[in-house]
Structure 1
Amino acid sequence: MTTTRRDLFKLGALAAAAAALPSFASAASEAKPVGKAAKPLTILILGGTGFTGPFQVDYALKRGHKVTLFNRGKRPSPEWPSEVEQLHGDRNTGDLGALKGRKWDVCIDNPTSLPFWVRDAGKVLKGNVGHYLFISTISVYADGSKPGITETSALAQYKGKDAMAETQESLRADIGGLYGPLKALSEAEAHKQFGKNVTIVRPGYIVGPRDETDRFTYWPHRVAQGGEILVPGDGTDPVQIIDGRDLGEWMIRLAEAKTTGVFNACGPDYTLSMDAMLHGCQAVTGGGMTLTHVTPKFLEEQQVGLPIWVPSKDSEYAGYGSVSNQRAIAAGLTFRPLATTVQDLLAWFRSLPAERQAKLNAGITREKEAELLKAWHARKG
């Protein structure tokens, strides 16, 4: 099926998104000034140089907090002001000596996927931090087939021999089977080590500037190129994304409010369909495009997957496109307009070296897309 922009408005499920389309092009704007927090905090960020960490640091500094980073020191990071303290160690080897004998109001744990990382951090930090915030994932849920996953849904179960013996190497070797269960056990270990003063944040797809995965970037980049675009599904499948800045800044506000509990950090705060997302991208990038929808069965036969999209029909993963975020919204999670995310993401992406832009880390090439479109049209005859 080929869908044009006019066809979008015929789909009842897109009514809310369609109403917002006229404002998309002008929604992106300069960031608003950030006020100071009522009480400055001392914040330890484990990691801090990856995707969301720098956003946490930047926002925390603007709010008047003192920030300490702890990581291996091997990844390039922004040039922070001199007041940002940087400590180095290696959680893989248990080298946390730089944290011993220190106290912080808050610890934000960004990179952990292994339970022993939380255990070892607890040995050093227990009693020395007042609040522990852990970035988890919606992959902790056992069953992604049912829409409306909430924070109380059953979690994935670890089936290995010794979770504390798992390493980054074993995780990479079997990421589909270990990632969710090990994250779930890391959550449990956080509660074991830090008691009631724990916040668990479970994001889905994190997108926006600094996203090196290109999972979401593939779509606005492709829309900007125009022409006939191969789109999975019928256009109504729900899409959930969260800008890394929204996630990072919200975690600082959770720390300020001493908010504990478990939260699904998925966005936006309305139902966003695949087609609405693509037309939102087009409103920012301009140019013409034609959407050609192909069935999940066709993609399965062609052994092709496309990023961000999860089919809502005939798929065991349907629920991961409709995770409940009501608890997080009630706790103050807010979302930038889609236009802002798309505009800023493309500006960042286009600032990268030409060779990096030429080969995305997700999605399909234009040549592969043309091949698939040809096969689809031949089948439809």
Structure 2
Amino acid sequence: MSDSALIIGGTRFIGRHTVEELLDHDYHVTIFNRGNHDNPFADREGVDHVEGDRTDETDLKAAKLSVEPDIVIDCVAYYPADVAIATDIFSDVDGYVYISSGDAYGEEWIPKREGTTPMRPCTDEQAVDDSGETYGNRKAEGDREIVAAADDGVNAMSVRPCIVYGPYDYTERMDYWLDRVDNHDRVVVPGDGQNLWHRAYAADVAQALRVVAEEGEPGEFYNVGDQRAVTLEEMLGLIADAMDTEVEVVHAGKHELGAADLEPEDFVLYRDYPHLLDTNKLADLGWESTPLDEAMARTVEEHRESDRDGSEYDPGRENEEAVLDVLDTL
């Protein structure tokens, strides 16, 4: 008889990859969500769907009773109270895994390590706030709820991804750069191209969730990210190789960007100070990441099949051309 997994969420991005990961490892999977998004597993053998609201304790309890899961993967716990309630309801499962975030770290250390790098604080007001500014605070407090649950005997763990990319990424952050490389010979990159914002391939995050559920220690946090972190410029090179094309990366400082009233932060996936997570703790459980060329090839293939272009992050090609004109005169 297959082990049973309940995924809270499960139809969009990380959850979708997690369903595939669990199916590949012989789990019977049940997705629990409100049914607001298309279910790509509607006709898939081995996948059931229970409709409900994760913020409704009655719905969560009903899901537990109907599924009796061995493990629970929580993809949509955005508030500390979500984690507290879920770890209480699923207190007797073999493994409950909460998706936290690298943003839970409160200090700019290189690299950021579990149990060493301080976490963000979280006030009572931040714990219930719904703005992006408190996302990391809320995730950190969710991690503290994991520790508290483990202290009460719950097999609860946390996985902390950095920026996630890959097929089905509805955030479209990577899609902006994919679209640029696919459609333009010259691409403006802020700074010297060496800025580093650690990224994690979505299928590797899914693998981490399964491995931690099976092998993780209660109350522990596990970073996940590409085992080889690359700069923004190196990322564009990976994209160009996957697309079998060439791209000229044009570096632009604040002065040149100012010609179009742009700032380096106007370019998605740019981060002035390096963000790097140590992934050795996760690797010690037997996890390993997908080779970068393979991960990017799959990402490019699905991007080209989709209608995503990352346009919400576009600083404007006309602005980019203005910057290129300035650089060409230097």
Q: TM-score range by the shorter chain?
A: 0.7 to 0.9
Stretches of structure 2 that go unaligned for 5 or more consecutive residues are none
SS state at 1:142 partner: coil
TM-score norm. by structure 1 comes to 0.76
Cα deviation, residue 203, structure 1? 0.4
Quote the RMSD (CA, aligned, Å). 2.4
Q: Distance in 1 between matches of 2:269 and 2:159?
A: 20
Q: Deviations over 1:97-149 (max 9, x none)?
A: 4225353221111111111112222342223x1211111001001123x3221
**Counterparts of 1:1-381 in structure 2 under 5 Å?**
40-79=2-41, 80-94=43-57, 95-101=59-65, 103-127=68-92, 129-144=93-108, 146-151=109-114, 152-161=116-125, 163=127, 166=128, 170-171=129-130, 174-176=131-133, 178-194=134-150, 195=153, 197-260=155-218, 261-267=220-226, 269-295=227-253, 299=257, 302-303=262-263, 304-311=265-272, 318-320=273-275, 322-353=276-307, 356-357=308-309, 360-377=311-328, 381=330
Q: Distance in 2 between matches of 1:105 and 1:299?
A: 53
Q: Distance in 2 between matches of 1:254 and 1:158?
A: 25
1:123/1:254 CA distance change after superposition, 3 Å:
closer
Q: Distance in 2 between matches of 1:350 and 1:291?
A: 21
1:284/1:196 CA distance change after superposition, 3 Å:
same
1:200/1:297 CA distance change after superposition, 3 Å:
farther
1:324/1:297 CA distance change after superposition, 3 Å:
farther
Q: Distance in 2 between matches of 1:319 and 1:241?
A: 12
CA contact (8 A) 2:159 2:208 kept: no
Cα deviation, residue 266, structure 1? 1.5
Cα deviation, residue 57, structure 1? 1.3
Q: Distance in 2 between matches of 1:251 and 1:76?
A: 23
SS state at 1:96 partner: helix
Q: Which amino acid is the alignment partner of residue 102 of structure 2?
A: I
Q: Distance in 2 between matches of 1:157 and 1:197?
A: 24
Q: Distance in 2 between matches of 1:319 and 1:211?
A: 23
Runs of 4+ in 1 over 6 A off after TM superposition: none
Q: Distance in 2 between matches of 1:250 and 1:202?
A: 10
Q: Distance in 1 between matches of 2:300 and 2:39?
A: 20
Stretches of structure 1 that go unaligned for 5 or more consecutive residues are 1-38, 312-317
Q: Which amino acid is the alignment partner of residue 308 of structure 1?
A: L
- Number of residue equivalences: 320
CA contact (8 A) 1:239 1:310 kept: yes
Q: Distance in 1 between matches of 2:323 and 2:271?
A: 19
SS state at 2:157 partner: strand
1:100/1:289 CA distance change after superposition, 3 Å:
closer
1:46/1:142 CA distance change after superposition, 3 Å:
same
CA contact (8 A) 1:118 1:189 kept: yes
Q: Distance in 1 between matches of 2:140 and 2:257?
A: 31
CA contact (8 A) 2:242 2:300 kept: no
Identical-pair percentage = 25
Q: Which amino acid is the alignment partner of residue 302 of structure 1?
A: L
TM-score norm. by structure 2 comes to 0.87
Q: Which amino acid is the alignment partner of residue 278 of structure 2?
A: S
